[in-house]
Amino acid sequence: MELVLQNLDFLLKGAYYTLLITMVSMFFGFILALIVAFARLKGNIVIRNIAIFYISIFRGTPILVQIFIIYYGLPDYGIRLGPLTAAFLSLSLNIGAYLSETFRGAILSVSKGQTEAAMSLGFTPWQTTYKVVLPQAARVAIPPMGNTFIGMLKETSLVSIVTVTELLRTAQLLIAQYYIAMPFYIAIAVMYWLMSMLFSQLLTRVEKKLSKAY
């Protein structure tokens, strides 16, 4: 483990990029998921079918293939993205497809009586959605969203194939330098586990607060 300690700064830099990719991808994926969820619930038949097709594509194909298409395939058509941009885009599109179904199910779980009561009090459709539906849907969506978030944290390791220096890529570079693998693989496994546990604890606290509020 001496080599791990000697290169801890380098590994922590890789962990930083792992967290950065996870947070940025989750942020844009979250926004995209809300748009797609409402497109399926409120859109006309064309918009609904576009949303369904998007979800089907990104849930029905491996994320590794999606990364290859965006980073290696798009240049065939003159679209060249940097490794980090390609990572953000591919993971955001993927997570958006999965979260959109989580959000749609959570919104549908809110009783219609809640919506009718809000409308009878003079709430506009937007106020009803923002103040009544979404807060209650959030309580339902948090647990599966947390699982998706943690899954995304681990799936960032796949972007190492496009030379993004996240945690796995960092370990691979150190292994190539020192010709020894096990200490570095164990080190990054522990780091992934610690980050996952941290996010699990944070999401558990958020879930408890929402349960008390509603």
Task: Read off the pLDDT band of 213 (50, 70, 90).
Answer: low
Rg (CA), the chain: 20
Residue 117 corresponds to which tokens in the numbers above?
Answer: 């009561």
Look at the block and give the residue holding tokens 């943690």.
Answer: 150
**CATH code of 113's domain:** 1.10.3720.10
Residue 142 has a pLDDT of: 80
109: three-class secondary structure by DSSP: coil
Look at the block and give the residue holding tokens 């960032």.
Answer: 156
Task: Read off the pLDDT band of 186 (50, 70, 90).
Answer: very high
The secondary structure of residue 110, as a DSSP letter, is: S
The secondary structure of residue 149, as a DSSP letter, is: H
- Cβ contacts of 63 within 8 Å, gap of 6 or more: 90, 91, 94, 155, 158
- Alpha carbons 10 and 4: distance in angstroms, whole number: 9
In terms of residue numbers, what domain contains 177? 2-213
Task: Read off the pLDDT band of 164 (50, 70, 90).
Answer: confident
- Alpha carbons 163 and 53: distance in angstroms, whole number: 30
pLDDT digits (tens, 9 = 90+) for 51-97: 999 999 999 999 999 999 999 999 999 999 999 999 999 999 999 99
Dihedral sign for Cα atoms in the order 87, 88, 92, 95: positive
How many domains in the chain? Answer: 1
